[in-house]
Amino acid sequence: MKKRWIIVLGITVITFLGLGVKFYMDEKKINEEMMNVVFSDEAKRVFENGLKNLDAKALTGKGVINSYEIDKKSIKQNPMGGIDVTLYVNENPELYVFFTLNNTDDKKMIDDGGGNSAKLEMLLEGK
């Protein structure tokens, strides 16, 4: 009887370890796919259009927003669908814009929501 319990316990432990490895590998694959989407040319177009909506002279050297960089740590799956990502403006972590990238029915990438920091908003308003 004791031998049977040891076998059942061993099978249970092996099953849980196998499931843990599978979930880890699936999560890693999803993270790699999200990174590929966020660093794609289509996402770059969405980001730059969004920044130009905030500042008409963005990325020209004449506006408030002169450069941006993607915060890799901020990339995560949105529970409502899409990918959440934060961009730092002018290499300043206090000036940021966040986006939710999503696909439309015709597979076109769009900005499906987001916002920006209060400090960036004040700069954009000229205060």
pLDDT at 127 over 70: no
Token pair for residue 61?
Answer: 């050297």
Looking at the fold, whether 33 and 45 belong to one and the same domain comes out as no
What are the residues facing 112 on neighbouring strands?
none
Where is pLDDT greater, at 55 or 31? Answer: 55
Give the side-chain half-sphere CA count within 13 A for 12: 6
**Residue-level pLDDT at 2:** 83
Q: Is the pLDDT of residue 27 over 80?
A: no
Q: Does 90 lie in the same domain as 61?
A: yes
Q: Note the pLDDT of residue 71.
A: 93
Structural domain tally of the chain? 2
Same structural domain for residues 17 and 56?
no
Which residue bears the tokens 């927003």? 65
Range of the domain at 121: 41-127
Do residues 15 and 34 share a domain? Answer: yes
Residue 85 DSSP SS3:
strand
Give the pLDDT of residue 32: 85
